[in-house]
Every structure is written in structure tokens, then in C-alpha cells.
Structure 1
Amino acid sequence: MIQTMRWYGPKDSVSLRDIRQAGATGVVHAMHEIKNGEIWTLEALEKRKAEINAEGLDWHVVESLPVTEPIKTRTGVFEQHIENYKVSLQNLGKIGVNVVCYNFMPVLDWTRTQLTFPLKNGATALRFDWALLAAFDCFILKRKDAEKDYKESIMVDAKQFMDTASNVEKRKLESAIVAGLPGAEEGYTLNAFQEALDNYAAIDETKAQEHLKLFLNAVLPTAEQAGVAMAIHPDDPPHVFFGLPRIMSKASDVARLLKDNNSAFNGITFCTGSFGARADNDLVQMVKDYGSHIHFIHLRSTKCEANGSFYEDNHLEGDVPMPAVIYELQEIEMQRSKQLPMRPDHGHQMLDDLKKPLAHPGYTAIGRLKGLAELRGVIAGIQFMQSR
């Protein structure tokens, strides 16, 4: 595998040199400073690529080229945004970036309720807790009829949180959900968040699936011409909440995606953490079934609880059978005679990083370095056994 780490640009506290020292040979990057829906110009892309190359690294994957809310809802300026998207794809192809990771999650990108969940060893992790989500949804946001979406036991815990939590804890919960996590392309005030949810009142799962199909109908011919693979990221978490449609959560969603838009350049970002947060997803079988359409890989492991809440575990622990998944991914690489880019995802905040401001939750240097080192060990071990 091509071993990469995500880099958030010149203002990232984790520098390109840090990434190189961690053992990665490339970066996953996006032009976060460019407003959503606008063109990524060739000049800006060439300048950024030169900056990355100057540190001895390659730019392999864009994560993400944002699919804007107008595109997802097919309202307002969505047609202009699609045309701009196509130009950006062409420009990415010209500089040799040949994979675009994107998502079709409505309103929010990935979602967590706790950014510094304490672990027994003193490190902290990202966590998604259904009771905290219900507390925000029903008692802070006060979405109409929200309580109908949660089990009674979840509502009991949500009410207990609201009764006992301080105002600071409630504000932290609100901020974690609506302010936008690393890589998320939108952040909201509470009122703006409710307005964004209202835009989906007439968009159910079937309609959202159709919108994704129409988007890919429009951009895939350009992607093919530019030599850029489109790799959709699964829903994170892979469950319905806030009444929003979720259309990329399970194996059958991948099958539908590939059936609706039959192209070698249409595929997935195989995120073991997102798909692994559902017990009904068999990750090893998914690699076997859809390996020819895996263009990019996120390796992380989640530890799930009985009610579906989960936290980000160590990369080789949790519920993801990581060695088995990596073995199958390397089998796919041999079948395709092609290395796939991967990155360790969502490392713990630990050691000296605990003393630093948490600028990018999940993307501190030491936690990801640890994750990459563990994954590199698994990869090396499998390669050794395959060579015997």
C-alpha cells in the first residue's frame, strides 16, 4: 500500500516534515482555503503540489473536493457548482492527483459527540454516543418530534445528561456536533443548522440516492477523461439521525452505487471505521466483493457498545478484524497489479499532544504516528508470509 497521512495545509500544526518522519511517503490533502463550490485553479494546485514535493512527499489523494449542499439537494446554484467541480477534476488530473475522496452526507460531514473521550491509559479518543446525540437533538436543538427517533432507554440517559451537565458541557456537545469537525466543509450556528435540516424535508433516501446518481452522471465523464477516480466515503456514523437520509452505510449501498453508475472510475473509499460501526457489514467480504472499485483506504477501528454507541479504539483493537482486512486488501492489490493509497485514521490524543491545543480532533501527530507504525507492522508481516 502507498502509506500516506492527511495534511490540512500550511496552517496545520502537524507539518509535512512531521508526516515524512512518521514514515509516510505521501499526503492526502484538500484546498480548504477555497470556498465550497468554487474552482480549484490549476495555478493554486501547482503551487500546493510543489510545496508538498519540496518536503519529499507526493500528493496522492484529494480529501475532499466538496460536494456542496446545493448539489446534494439539487437546488439553487447546483448546476454551476457541478460545472465548477468538473473543472477542478480536470485541473487535478493535470497535476497528477488521480483519486478524489468525497462524501454525500447531508448537512454534516462526519459526526462525533465527544472529542476528548478519556481512555483508561490516559489518552483521549473520539466518541459517538447516542444518548448525547439525543440530548442535543431533543433538548438543545429541539427538533420537532425528535424524541420519536430514539429508544426509551436512550431518552432516559439523554434526560439525565441534561439534568446533570453544566452549561459548559452542554456547549461542548453543541460545538462538537454543529461547529464542524476536521475536514468538514460546513460549520453552523444552531439556527442555521435547523434551517439546513429543513432543506431535506422533502428528500428521503430514495430521492437522495437519485441525486447521487445524477451527480455522478454529470461528473464521471470528466473524471474518466482526466484520469481521476471518484471514491465516495461511507456515512460516518453509518446510521440515520436528525431525520436525514443516509445512503452509503452498508454493503448493499455500495452495490447500488456501482450498478447505478457503471464505470471503472466510480468507486469507494474503504473506511474500516465507518463500515465497521455496523455489525451487519462483513468487512473482509466487502473487500472481496468490491475490491476492484476500492480506490482509497482509511484504516481505523471502532469499539461498539450494545446500543450502537462507539469510540475510536487503537488501530489493531476494537471490532475491526484489521489483519484480515489488510490481508484481503493486499490480495486485491496483487490482482490489480496496483498499490492503493491508505492512511491511518483518527488517532488518539496522547503523550505530549495532550499538552497542546486540540486543533484537529482525531488528527494529532503522535496518535496517528502510532497507528501508522502498527499498520506498517501488519503490512510487513503479511508481505513476509506471502513471499515465503
Structure 2
Amino acid sequence: MRQTWRWFGPKDLVSIDDMLQAGVEGVVTALHHVPTGRVWTPADIAQRQAELAVMKDGEPSGLKWEVVESLPVSEDIKRQTGDWKTHIVNWITSMRNLRAAGIEVICYNFMPILDWTRTDLSYRLANGATCMRYDAVDFAAFDLFLLQRKGVEADYSAAVTEAARARFADMSDARKQELCGNVVFGLPGSAERMSMDDVKTHLAHYDNISAEKLRGHLIEFLAEVSPVAQEIGMRLCCHPDDPPFPLLGLPRVMSTEADYKSVMDAVNLPANGITLCTGSLGARADNDLPGMMKRLGDRVHFLHLRNVTLEERQLGGSFHEAAHLEGNTDMVAMIAAVLAEQTRRKAAGRADWQIPMRPDHGQNILDDHTRKAQPGYPAIGRLKGLAELRGIMTALSHPAVTAGV
């Protein structure tokens, strides 16, 4: 596997120097400053490549931009409203510009409005580490009593509603404000600039869009962009829903193996592929991650390797982000399946036999607590995760193991 690292650009508090010392081989980044729907120009792409090519002292880093995460798909494209056709043309132009710059992999998502949802961004564990967490009761309290979304009562059982009511009654004003900020963090804009009415307005745009309709829009989008990607040698990979179950009345279409298979079959081109995120998909107890890698591995173009601990087994239950080897996903079995797929690809002569992966997220440990990097992206927590994953990769690839000794 190609060991990569997500970088949010020059403002990222985890620097290029930090990445090098962690032992990464390539960079995953994006042009976060370009408004969604606009073209990524060759000049902007070249500038980002130049920024990650040097260390703080000006010496060459030796690192290259290897995966785009992400080239955003606009809400207009997802809903097929407004300037959605122009946005697709611009998306294709951006893809061509990225490929001309030597980049071959684009990760994107098709989640309505939300990129991800958590109720806690720094949940304290028993050992003093902190992590991101989704608390189902806290989320219900937000939805029912803070957002007060239209028709919300139908989405929760009587037991969950009563638990949320009791939880909300005990919440301080500070916790209510924090909870709103944490949930809205995954929405366009930020908690400081969005009121609950703003959130309701965003949600109302999806009132008449079912999961079936959204899936159809995804397939139509892929029917436009995938043939171009195939022609120019670009690999596209859709990130799963995070978390992989319905929230806020919004449709979900990339949450299970069946979801992925239906979309891969509908646009059956090698360029139309998968970002297999073990953390997002692992938040459902019924997702078999090593099995998905074995069955869908031919179309896996990018890997996010992280783990979650399911605090409840039912769909939509609480979970928190675990250390990479400690959650519900068997990471040894997962990496074994990835290595088997790479061996198969290499034997078939595929140029893309080595699958890029990154140690997705990480717990805040040691100096991460004072650095205050992007939520989910600490320096030391990710370094620890990468080291653990690298250890498994090295062990499973060792002749003593491959020879059956």
C-alpha cells in the first residue's frame, strides 16, 4: 500500500516536516479555498504542488500530491437544480487539469449537505486521549429540541425520544451551544455563522429527494464524468456516508456493500471506483469490511484505514473513534485482504496495483492536546495509527509469513 497523509494546505497545523518525520510517501490534499462548482485552474493546482514540495527551511520534501480529497460535488449537482449542468462541466475541466498535472486519483462524496456528523469533537477516554464521538441520544436531543426539524418525531422511537428529552433537560446552555456547533461543523459554513433557521433552509432543499432519486442523480453524474476519467487515466472513488445511516431526514445512498455494487454496476467502468473507508462503513455492524475488500477490491482506488468502537449494535447507535487496532474492524484481516488484492493486480500487470491509503483520523494524544489541529487530524495520533498499520503491512508481507513458516 502507498502510505499517504491528508494535508489541509499551508494553514494546516500539521506541517510538511511533520509528515516527513511520520514516514509518509505521498500527500492527499485539495484546493479548499476554491468555491464549490468553480474550476480548479492549472495555476492553483501548480501552486499547491509547489507548497507541499518543500520543507520549512526550503529544502525539497520529495513529496507529491498523489490523491485529491476532495473535488467537491456541488449540492446543485446532487439535487439537479440551479447551475448543476455547468458545475458538471466545471468538474470535468478540473479533473482534466488535475490529470495534466500528473494526479491520477480523485476522492469525492455524494452526501447531502453533511460531510460527516459527530456530537463530540474531543470526547475524553479513560486514558486521557480524546476522540470524535457520535452519541445517538445527544443527536436526537439536538434534532428534536434544538433544531426542531419539521416531522422529526417520526424519526425516533418513543424510548429514544424520552431519553433525549431527559438528556436535554440536564444540558447546560454551554453544552447546548457546543452540541449545535459540533453538528453544524459538518455543514457548509460554520457554527458561528449559521443559525438553526439556516440549517432548516439547507435541509428543506432535500424535502422531495428520496434515496432512490439521489442515487439516480449520482449515477447520472457518474455517467457524465466516468467516461472522461477512463479516457484520460483518472481513477474516481466515492467516499461512503459518514455515518452510514439516515440523519436529519436526509437520504443516504453509499452506506453498504449493496449500495456500492449497484452504483459500480450501473456505470461499469474501471475508472468508477470506491474509497473504502473502514471507519465510516465500520459504524454499521452489518458491514463486513474485509469481505467488501475481497468482493469489491477490483474497484477500490483509495483506502481510509481507521477504526470505530460501536457502543451499541443497532443501526444508528452511538460510536466513537477508536485507536486504529482497537475498534470493531479486524484491521489485520482487512490489511491481509488489501495485500491479496495488490498481489492479484500486480500479477495481472495493472499499473495501479499499489493502492494508496491514509491513516484516517486519529485520537488526540500527548502534544496533540496543545496543538489543536483540525478535528480528527492530529499529528501524533495519526502517526501512531500509521505506525501500527505499517507494522501489520510489514509483518504480513514478510517472507516468514508469506512462506507459511
Q: Fold match, TM over 0.5? A: yes
Q: Which residue of 2 aligns with 1:154?
A: 160
Q: Is the 8 A contact 1:66 1:185 kept in 2?
A: no
Per-residue CA distance 1:89-128 (angstroms, 9 max, x = gap):
0001011111110000001111111101110100101001
8 Å CA contact 2:361, 2:382 repeated in 1: yes
**Gap change, CA 1:231 and 1:32, over 3 Å in 2:** same
Which residue is equivalent to 1:10? 10
Does 1:127 find its partner at 2:136?
A: no
Aligned position for 2:48: 48
For residues 234 and 137 of structure 2, the distance between their equivalents in structure 1, rounded to whole angstroms, comes to 41
Unpaired runs of at least 5, structure 1 = none
Is the 1:131–1:158 Cα contact (8 Å) retained in structure 2?
yes
Matched with 2:68 is 62
Matched-pair contact (CA < 8 Å) for 2:14–2:373: no
Take 1:189 and 1:103, find their aligned partners in 2: how far apart are those partners? Answer: 25
TM-score (norm 1): 0.96
Match of residue 255 from structure 2 = 249
Q: Match of 1:317?
A: 326
CA RMSD of aligned residues (A): 1.3
* Residues 205 and 247, structure 1, Cα contact 8 Å, conserved in 2: yes
Residues of 1 paired with 2:229 and 2:189: CA distance?
25
How do residues 335-374 of structure 1 correspond to structure 2 at under 5 angstroms? 335-337=344-346, 338-356=353-371, 358-374=372-388
C-alpha contact (below 8 Å) 1:89/1:226 kept by paired residues: no
Distance in 2, matches of 1:283 and 1:13, equals: 32
For 1:26-175, list aligned pairs within 5 A: 26-54=26-54, 55-175=61-181
Q: Give how far 1:355 is off.
A: 2.2
Aligned counterparts of 1:209 and 1:186: Cα–Cα separation in 2? 25
CA distance in 2, matches of 1:225, 1:31: 24
How far 1:190 sits from its partner (Å)?
A: 2.0
How big is the shift at 1:225? Answer: 2.4
Q: Give the superposition deviation at 1:189.
A: 3.4
Tell me the CA shift for residue 191 of structure 1: 1.6
Q: Distance in 2 between matches of 1:196 and 1:218?
A: 26
Assess if the C-alpha contact under 8 Å between 1:36 and 1:185 holds in 2. Answer: no
1:326-353 CA-partner distances (Å, limit 9, x unpaired): 0000110111121110000110111112
- Give the SS at the match of 2:132: strand
Contact 2:279 2:306 in 1 (8 A): yes
Report the secondary structure of 2:103's partner residue. Answer: coil
- The 8 Å contact of residues 10 and 51 in structure 2, kept in 1 or not, is answered as no
Sequence identity percentage: 46
* Residue identity matched to 2:229: A
Contact 1:178 1:189 (8 Å CA) reproduced: no
- TM-score, normalised on structure 2? 0.92
Amino acid at match of 2:342: E
Aligned residues: 384
Deviation at 1:387, TM superposition (A): 5.6
Give the match's secondary structure for 1:351. Answer: coil
Whole-Å separation in 1 of the counterparts to 2:44 and 2:247: 37
